Chain A
Amino acid sequence: MSKEFIKGNEAMAEAAVRGGCRFFAGYPITPQNDIPEYLSKRLFEVGGTFIQGESEIASINMVYGVAATGVRSMTSSSSPGLALKSEGISFIAGSRIPAVIINVARGGPALGTIQGAQQDYFASAKAIAPGGFRCFVVSPSTVQEAADLVYEAFEIADKYRTPVYVLTDGVIGNMMEIVELPPMRDPEEMLSSDAWRITKYNDDSSARQFSTYRPTGEMLTVDNIAMAELYEEWQEKEQRWEAFMMEDAEVVLTAYGSAGRIAKSAVKELRAQGIKAGLIRPITLFPFPNKAYENINYDKIDKIFVVEMSIPPQFVYDVELATKSQLDYININTSGGVIVETESIVDKVKESM
């Protein structure tokens, strides 16, 4: 397989095509613009459809409609654009339709900055929109992982009939790195949508339909219980993380996404200085990889360094839950599109040891 030196956004776009994506609708916003730009040309080469919608809201609803017919569909945007798409995502989740949503996040709130940041943690992993639903949320640390996760996202989406949300940021999106792109997936091998997708209208009113409105609380409760069971299944089966140099770690760092790769460098630098550091890097943000934190030796470890490009911090609350509030939580943060530096992580760890 050939390796390519390619931009994160383009790697995700190509991986989507190879993963079976045949419909994309989106609206321009920095720093995700390379995704629609790439797909505007590429999708037509594989018989797919690209639409630049008149707005974010139109785009996500096009994805809702097309995905309901069983076509693998995707949209992408950046933070404030996701705010506009949130209602549509709620409808997709409520209808139990598979789709892939990429957020190449930037600083916020509101328009914020266009530089990469991790200030959308709650808005991605916790509450994309009202109603208590969740997406299956993944967050890559490298361009390779971004491509691999987007590729797989379509399988996960089909398997669980859920929107899969790829939370990345302008750092990964705009960075070029060496990638081995996954192979073009054979449509024959993809999960069948025969059992659920909307087909043509039948006069005997046997046509399938999706509706997110339920006339009684009892009826909606049935849906809500099914969602809760789905999320429990993810918690059981789908937690993913990378444990880096954790076997003999005496100092534990934790970070996800772009901060995760920088924290990894910090761990290596600390090791080079004789400090036995280790890193827990969540890959799924929902389901959150609680199991990763169960392996910490709580008899010896009394604190954890939580590196996150968000002020105020957000990810730390999940770390605190996963570690059952047994540790001191030392936050190392930047915000607003400022990339956290390896040196400042190393310094902070050393002064707090």
Chain B
Amino acid sequence: MKELPMLRPNKSRPRWHIAVFLAPALLLYSIVMVFPLLDTLRLSLFSSDGANFVGVSNYQRLFTDSQWWPYFWRALKNTVLFFLLHMLLQNPLGLLLAALLDSKNLRGRSIYRTLLFSPTMLSFVIVGFIWQLILSPTWGIAPAISDFLGIRYRPWLGLESTSLPTVALISIWQFVGIPMLFFMTALLAVPQDILEAARVDGASAWQLFWRVKFPLILPTVGIVSILTFIGNFNAFDLVYTAKGALAGPNFSTDLLGTFFYRTFYGFQLQLGDYAMGTTVAMVIFLIILFGSLLYLLVWQRKVVSYEL
């Protein structure tokens, strides 16, 4: 991280403006978000009926009990896979689309930009509904398309082996607009004179992208990656809409988000357990915190942020 030279005309004067800049947001955020969260998270240190302080025994239970750990572990593994699929497919695809949208003299740029973003605007209810309809063995067009492409149709969303990747692909379809948007913004901000200079030097479009543009948008790659990480470790809605809170079949689509929801709020005949629910939430939080710190300490220190 490049340190900006600070200009402080009068060092001794109290700098009230800093407080003015920070206070409104921090107050709102602390009162409406942080305080309620802490107020809830403390429940993880109490027994399930909230009556007794039990220290870390809920955490012990989560990590050692045969009724908790295997389920948590499976949800964690599924979440990692879900996240990796987004990292490996959604973000490169978003980058590709943004790079293509950035090509010189492209006709219909704004139409592409709007249409490509349209899935991202849909609510989960619609996304879940329409993809289940498309992939449906009964009404879907997927069987016909598979025949045409020579792939054997299977009810992908319903099979233990394929349901998680299928849900991930639907999620990627829905959210590819986000990395696309971020990359687009970054690419548009690359100064024209640098590009012109490179073009004059005879760089091909390919070289121009990888040698000039990509290093300049590297900070955005970082932002997108960390947002993907945080977003997917909290992912919940699509699985919940498409596969229900039990995340079937046989828990094959269970993510940390759905696992937390089931534990915290309960399900059908399963009573919600605030103590274990907040314990799960706390562990998810620590995982995300660890990942984010890694990003802040390693990536942000290494990657140079250019002033444009």
A, B bound: no
- A-contacting residues of B (Cβ < 8 Å)? none
